[in-house]
Chain A
Amino acid sequence: MSEATDSAPTHGAGRRWSWTDPKLRSAVIQIALGLLLLFLLWAFYSNAVANLARQGIASGFGFLDNRAGFAISQTLIPYNEDMSYGRAFLVGLLNTLLVAVLGIILATILGFLMGIARLSKNVVIQALASAYVEVTRNLPPLFQILFWYLAVLAALPGPRQSWGFGLQPLFGAIGNGLNAIGLGVIGGPIGAFAAGLGAPSVFVNNRGLVVPRFFMESGGTLLLAAIAAGIVIAVLFSRFAKKRREATGQIYPVFWIGLAIIVGLPLLVSAAMGFPIGVERPQLRGFNFSGGVTVIPEFVALLLALVIYTAGFIAEIVRAGILAVSKGQSEAAHSLGLRNGPTLRLVVIPQALRVIVPPLTSQYLNLTKNSSLGVAVGYPDLFSVFAGSTLNQTGQAIEIIAMTMAVYLTISILTSALMGWYNKRVALVER
């Protein structure tokens, strides 16, 4: 201590270097860290070069143009075995995005429902929602994927005994149920009505989910244009309505009018053109279905597990968000004369969103990252196609794993940027 006080006043050329000098200390630490990082990089690089040379693996991304030679069970873009690894990469990436986007949408809906159900006054609903949240959050996602795939979907009947979903089985079941409890008076006609309906067109069996395929006939582009125009008009109308409300206080039912425009305009156009949408219904031929679109069971299992798992977390986030809005807010809204619906929509939810959005973002990221678990059941996502099949065939570990990681990193960064932008919009503006 005494030395420090001695040396402190002597600023100048003769000053001795001191560890207590923050500038010097920070320089030394940073130089040491920099050297360590450089050394690690150099060591990794030189080791990698030596190891690759020893194993006879050529590095570089040239392999992306080589023939892949393996089939992929679900392709959103045309693909066959003769196409390149690069094409397989794209197919895998699209499959990942498909399951991630669908999963995020469905998990958000289910999660919000469950979160609100947990706050319900109805004790039965509340208890059920709590049980759902506790069970799904405490079982590992991989466990859930394997459970749906191995235990549930594999135990479904084969194609010939598929479960059909549609109005006919629904009314049939209702009719049978009513007959069974002695209400044959109502059950009979319903059963007869069900028999008169067309055969169901959605089937579930152990080879997946079979749904009808929709396709555009001539004039389909006009229909698409009508949908786009409907959306544009609805947006313009909502802006006009907002301006009008701010100027005069007059309120339009924006939602219903917007919905009418978005749905009605394309409907009118297609009616005018004689409904240019074709439907190809799946039909049982021999031992399997022909026609329609078959959704592979791997996809169904992965999507189910991801949605159910993530919705448990979202439910808790939503519940916490709504609870974070103080009771005085809704009481004030009620005393202003707002009914339950507008109170929720205009007062509670906008404030709850501020609490909900940041953790919701990380759940979306988790879902996207967890979609890579599809490899355990063979869903051909980016990870399974690229870090699985392609890595096995080419052995280009460094390039392939680096590319896979880079893609997930990019998706993560993009999602958090998007949600950050949304969060800024809903965040409290402090004055």
Chain B
Amino acid sequence: MAKISAGSAPFDPFVAAQVLGPEAPPISERGTFAYLRGHLFGSVPQVLLTLFGAWLVYVTIPPMIQFFITDAVWSGTNREACLPDKVGRAVGACWPFIWAKFDQLVYGFYPAAERWRVNIVYALGAVLLLPLLIQSLPYKRLNAIAFFGVYPVVAFILLTGGDMEPKGFLLSWLGLGGLFSGFPAVGGLQLGFWADYILSAILVTALAAFVCRAVAGPEAMRPAIRSTLVTFAVLAAVLFAADIDLGLAPVETRLWGGLLVTLVIAVTGITVSLPFGILLALGRRSNLPLVKIASIAFIEFWRGVPLITVLFFATYMLPLFLPGRLTIDGLLRALVGVALFASAYMAEVVRGGLQAIPKGQYEGAMAVGLRSSLMMRLVVLPQALKLVIPGIVNNFIGLFKDTTLVLIVSIFDLLGAMRAAFTDPNWATPTTLFTGFGFAGIVYFVFCFGMSRYSMALERRLDRARRH
């Protein structure tokens, strides 16, 4: 090795003072021209594709703008306003038809004097749902309880009018109804029912305490009594709210329609399917053979049949399976069908989340001594549910689209109300159908597209949070 000392070198070595930046790409690879060549006119097939695409845009977009906006009729009182002969020009969308049918599309045949109740339900739903959807807002748990627990009860009372007049509870069902028949009703409250309810609550609590003592020993008695009483108290609060007479005029569900029914079915489906779906998913992953088999059979059965058959099952078959004296409302039957169907789908979504939780989480929870119910509630489910929120939203989109099927069992949701509106001879014009489908399509698209964008944003956000 030769020694190199400063100044003695025969040449001055080049030493770069800083790292050189990358050179700009060649002129053929940048700028507008390269973009056009790369994305539009690179080769002969590319050019043909571009021309074909441009032609497609040309034949779809301008006619649609012309139909829905420039040629459209915006005001009028009947079909005369939208007939080309009367107007004297080409007529596009007949928007007065939508204005005229708007109430029917939003409320169905809900009595006009009572529509403020529907409006309150809509507004309350929006007020409770929006903060739930925005991740950065606090009080999520409280908000979720309000939306999934309290809101359905309030909405139910407002929409139906409450004052349900329950006839009897457990003891009456067991044939002891005679004991309570003499009680009067005070302020809409059926005292006989409530006497039955309180007695039943006491008896069931005592029974639960006794069974727990016999099976698990005296230390299990206190939690058993507590949880039974809490269940009865919550149920009592709901029943009390439904029983009390608030002076609201009762509105039968067959008068409901339009967007109201669409939203009622979708929201009921999601609120009911979430807890049942979680239970079914846990059941499917259970170690107990009977629980597992029952859960798998339930999930696979409802997932294997079309929703229409489920609705037919609920409409025509379910009444045969229930005691003859029990008559169920038509909308409620459909809701039962939708809830069964949605629960099975929700169970599969939740199961995906449960499977994604690494085994170490379960083992860690067991290692700190949590019993399985606490392990699920405190460790596994919070993580699993967070993972599947996008899946739940996607499920909700599917459910929202599926609500249209109730029109086959003669319940008029948005699409059904629109279809009924088409038959009005007062508005029979050549463009009525396209206008109606355009409007309904926009409503469905706005809801579903909005939800899917929300789900995607959420997915990105959760993904980012996980990577940290």
Contacts and interface: CB of A to CB of B under 8 A. Distances in A.
B88 interface: no
A324 to B, nearest CB: 15
A383 B306 contact: yes
Contacts of B54: 124
B216 A18 contact: yes
Contacts of A20: 216, 371
A150 interface: yes
B56 A128 contact: yes
B313 A143 contact: no
A258 to B, nearest CB: 26
A17 interface: yes
Interface stretch (A186-194, A240-248, A366-374): A366-374
B38 interface: yes
A3 B219 contact: yes
Given A28-B215, A48-B320, A369-B305, A141 B401 contact: yes
B306 A51 contact: no
Given A123-B39, A372-B306, A128 B445 contact: no
B419 interface: yes
B220 A147 contact: no
A139 B42 contact: no
A138 B452 CA distance: 9
A145 B290 CA distance: 42
Given A30-B289, A139-B444, A391 B39 contact: no
A150 B415 CA distance: 13
A124 B444 contact: no
A409 interface: yes
A150 B320 CA distance: 35
A29 B403 CA distance: 36
Interface string B38-59: 1110100010011011101100
A100 B367 CA distance: 52
Contacts of B404: 140, 142-143
A178 B307 CA distance: 51
Given A44-B321, A143-B415, A143-B444, A125 B53 contact: yes
Contacts of A260: none
Given A124-B50, A128-B53, A405-B309, A140 B321 contact: no
A370 B306 contact: yes
Contact of A19 (B215, B287, B448): B215
Interface string B297-340: 00001011111110011001101111110000000000000000
Contacts of B290: 30, 33-34
A122 interface: yes
A401 B316 contact: yes
Interface residues on A, range: 35 or more
A52 interface: yes
Interface stretch (B26-34, B72-80, B251-259, B432-440): B432-440
B454 interface: no
A37 interface: yes
Given A48-B321, A375-B408, A408-B305, A19 B419 contact: no
A54 B419 CA distance: 37
Contact of B317 (A123, A372, A401): A401
B233 interface: no
Contacts of B50: 122, 124-125
A122 B306 contact: no
Contacts of A277: none
A146 B56 contact: no
Secondary structure call for the B interface: helix
A259 interface: no
A19 B322 CA distance: 35
Interface string A120-159: 1111110110000011011111110011001100110000
Nearest to A37: B294
B207 to A, nearest CB: 13
Given A373-B308, A376-B407, A391 B452 contact: no
B305 A405 contact: yes
Contact of A155 (B53, B308, B433): B433
Contacts of B441: 139, 143, 147
B305 A54 contact: no
B422 A52 contact: no
Given A3-B219, A123-B39, A125-B53, A373 B405 contact: yes
A59 to B, nearest CB: 10
Given A16-B217, A143-B440, A404 B309 contact: yes
A246 to B, nearest CB: 34
B269 to A, nearest CB: 14
Contacts of B448: 137-139
Interface string B441-461: 100110011001000000000
A139 B321 contact: no
Contact of B216 (A19, A120, A127): A19
B42 A146 contact: no
A317 interface: no
B324 A409 contact: no
Contacts of B437: 143, 146-147, 150-151
A33 B445 contact: no
B137 interface: no
B288 interface: yes
A150 B433 contact: yes
A26 interface: yes
A170 interface: no
Contact of A369 (B57, B306, B449): B306
Contacts of B216: 17-20
Contacts of B407: 142, 376
B171 interface: no
A409 B217 contact: no
Contacts of A122: 39-40, 46, 49-50, 53
B422 A138 contact: no
B213 to A, nearest CB: 11
A50 interface: yes
A409 B303 CA distance: 9
B402 interface: yes
A125 B309 CA distance: 39
Q: Among A134, A139, A369, A376, which residue has the most Cβ atoms of chain B within 10 A?
A: A139
B322 to A, nearest CB: 6
A26 B317 contact: no
A33 B294 contact: yes
A408 B306 contact: yes
B400 to A, nearest CB: 8
A123 B39 CA distance: 6
A398 interface: yes
A16 B54 CA distance: 82
Given A128-B53, A376-B408, A401-B309, A50 B440 contact: no
Contacts of B309: 372, 383, 387, 401, 404-405, 408
Contact of A47 (B38, B291, B323, B434): B323
A147 B445 CA distance: 14
A37 B294 CA distance: 9
Interface string A386-403: 010001000001100110
Contacts of B303: 412
9 contacts: A30-B291, A120-B49, A138-B397, A143-B441, A155-B433, A373-B405, A401-B312, A401-B317, A412-B304
Q: Return the 5 tightest CB-CB contacts between A and B, nearest first.
A: A19-B216, A124-B53, A138-B448, A369-B306, A140-B401
Given A122-B53, A398-B320, 19 more contacts: A3-B217, A19-B217, A20-B371, A47-B322, A47-B324, A54-B324, A121-B39, A122-B39, A124-B50, A125-B53, A128-B56, A143-B404, A143-B441, A143-B444, A147-B441, A369-B306, A376-B408, A391-B312, A398-B317
Interface of B: 38-40, 42, 46, 49-50, 52-54, 56-57, 212, 215-217, 219-220, 287-291, 294, 301, 303-309, 312-313, 316-317, 319-324, 371, 397, 401-405, 407-408, 415, 419, 422, 433-434, 437, 440-441, 444-445, 448-449, 452
